A = this chain, B = another copy of it.
Amino acid sequence: MPDANSLTPVGQASRPFLAGIDVGGTNIKVGLVDNKGKTLAYYTFPTDVERGPDDGCRRMAEAVRRVTSDAKADLGDVVRIGLATPGTMDVPAGLLLEPHNLQGWWNYPIRDRLAEAAGIPVTFANDANAAAYGEFWVGSGQQYNSMILLTLGTGIGGGIIIGDKLIEGEHSCGGEVGHIIIDMSDDAMKDNAGKTGSLEAYASAGGVVKRAQAALAKDSSSVLAKIGLAEDELTPLAIAEAAEQGDLLARNVVLDTAKYLGIGITTLVHTIDPESVVLGGAMTFGGNDNALGREFLQAICDEFNRRTFPTLAGKIIIDFATLGGDAGYLGAAGLARLAHR
């Protein structure tokens, strides 16, 4: 959520305006964004999935009018809405397919229904791709020509931008960067979708916790073993705190996560050869503001530089994202802006 003090007054904003909407399973975020990516007004409200998609579209349209009014802007200046949702989806058709966290909103023509409810044309995108475009447009990737985002959380999502163009893919599955395979062995770890050997299986929150559990089963000297955490208390945060206190097992879990990410990034860079790779999400161990986060990033860079071609070593900018949870609505607005131009 943008700080109230960071909002741009409408008098200093650059027209046209876009509304960016990021639909999650719990909350919907709506921002009124100007042509340079500045937020004029922001509003968030519960998704209330059970109220159904028609009611959701009605409330989203209402929220667009609300942020426009809050910003003291004119609805006529809002030329387009950018709508980001979790998959699965058919982007060209404007269709939600079977998104796991929007039960009851399946096979729903959300793009056109929202456009009808709001009376404003809508650009539709995958939420992870929208977040990538947000970081590319006004976040950590803004000075680069091309960028890959990896969002580290419960899963690993992301997106790929090359020269202002989002790689959406032919079946709305472009940039599924958590689902590249880093371990082809038969006993590789499994990810949230039950697939073996993916980057997500190793480096998502679930992967981190599973690896910590496996290590604790063999080594009881860790503070994590001594404080006797119940299984559901062994979280990435608990592991990060132990690592910060110098616990060897916890540190190894964190640095192994960096190694797996460095391997995955090597694969992605050899495919795309982007100018920058950006790491977002909750699983960044505090990012640049924290010693552990900086050590984590350095270990990722080391693994990549060791594995890549000599010509690329040291040349790819790998850094943390800067927009946090705002990347989705900002990127959705940015994609709407591209579609409007």
> Which parts of A18-51 form the interface with B (CB within 8 Å)?
none
- Would you list 5 pairs from A and B whose C-beta atoms are within 8 A, ordered by A residue? A88-B311, A170-B273, A175-B273, A179-B270, A181-B267
Indicate if A113 sits at the interface (CB-CB under 8 A).
no
Q: Which residues of B contact A184 (CB under 8 A)?
A: 182-183, 260, 263
Q: Which residues of B contact A179 (CB under 8 A)?
A: 266, 270, 309
Given contacts A145-B170, A183-B184, is CB(A175)–CB(B260) below 8 Å?
A: no
Q: A180-B267, A193-B309 are in contact. Are A170 and B274 (CB under 8 A)?
A: yes
Q: Quick one: copies of this chain in the complex?
A: 2
If the complex has contacts A162-B167, A311-B88, A311-B97, are A272 and B174 also in contact, measured as CB distance less than 8 A? yes
Q: Does A160 contact B (CB under 8 A)?
A: yes
Q: Distance in Å from the Cβ of A170 to the closest Cβ of chain B?
A: 5
Question: In the assembled complex, which residues on chain B have CB atoms less than 8 Å from the CB atom of A176?
Answer: 270-271, 273, 309
A146 to B167, CA, bound (A): 11
> Which single residue of chain B is at the shortest CB-CB distance from A170?
B275
| Contacts known (A160-B271, A167-B162, A195-B307); A266 close to B173, Cβ less than 8 A | no
Q: List, in ascending order, chain B residues with CB within 8 A of A274's CB.
A: 169-170
Contact between A272 and B167, CB atoms less than 8 A apart:
yes
Q: Mark A113-125, 1 if CB is under 8 A from B, else 0.
A: 0000000000000
A268 at the interface (CB under 8 A from B): yes
A298 to chain B, nearest CB (A): 19
Residues A291-341 near B (CB distance < 8 A): 307, 309, 311-312, 315
